[in-house]
Amino acid sequence: MYYINIDMENKNNTYLILTIILVILSVIGVFFIFQIKQSKNTVSLNSSSIPKIELIPTDIPITVTPSKIASPSPTKKPTITPTATPSAKITPTIKPTLTPTPTSSPSAKLNFSSYDDGFSILYNSTRKLYQDKETSGNRYTFTNIAGNFAIHVGLNDKWAWTNSDRQFSDSFLVAGKSTFRYDISTQTIVDLQSNGKNYTIQCIHNGKDTLKAECEQFLKDFQLIL
């Protein structure tokens, strides 16, 4: 009988210990469940406070309806009128002197006078007149694509060109003055002096008979203004 009581007492102790362990595990389980629930609430609260970012889809085709565009009216292309270009030595730097456009035949003559440089000249209306400066003084160029004519006015005893054998003669007169004439195959150069100025009349005829004849007339039409 004594042994039976001892056995029952041992069983009761075992149940008590298991009960205590079960209670402890239950408390621990409740604690963890409470912590997990609290964490979820925290995460839910935090996530609700973060603003949502909406992604704009880029793979959706966009159809654009073009509006009516008025067709531009055709514009006129500008017409470029070519002008005669002086020879390499002629580089006009002053505004060109305007000459009237001839209304008569191509052989019409125009008159030009320079009172500062003391001369006047009749020239073919097919030529254009340009005035500019050069080292020796003033230059008046009468341009033509076939060959330019020019009048150089040397100032302060200067000449437009250098010639060591410049000798004046009465065998060829221009404006009643003695001249030094120099002829080569492409041009004719005539020098004369008046009132302290040195005049050089230059004709680039390139050996063409028509320009040679025009040059001779150009020399005859040169006059001095006193």
Tens digit of pLDDT for each residue in 23-61?
888 888 777 777 776 655 544 434 443 333 333 333 333
Return the minimum-mean-pLDDT range out of 72-81, 163-172, 210-219. 72-81
Q: How confident is the model at residue 82 (pLDDT cuts 50, 70, 90)?
A: very low
Calpha distance 196→214 (Å, rounded) = 28
Return the minimum-mean-pLDDT range out of 40-49, 150-159, 169-178. 40-49
pTM: 0.55
* Higher-confidence position of 55 and 109: 109
Calpha distance 170→180 (Å, rounded) = 9
Q: In the chain, count of helices (H) and strands (E)?
A: 2, 10
Calpha distance 204→175 (Å, rounded) = 20
Tokens of 116: 């500062």
Report which of 160, 162, 199 is spatially closest to residue 177, judged by C-alpha positions: 199
* Higher-confidence position of 204 and 12: 204
Return the minimum-mean-pLDDT range out of 13-22, 93-102, 161-170, 214-223. 93-102
Q: How many CB atoms lie within 10 A of CB 202?
A: 22
Tokens of 18: 């298991």
DSSP 135-203: TTEEEEEEE-TT--EEEEEE-TT--SS--TT---EEEEEETTEEEEEEE-SSEEEEEEEETTEEEEEEE
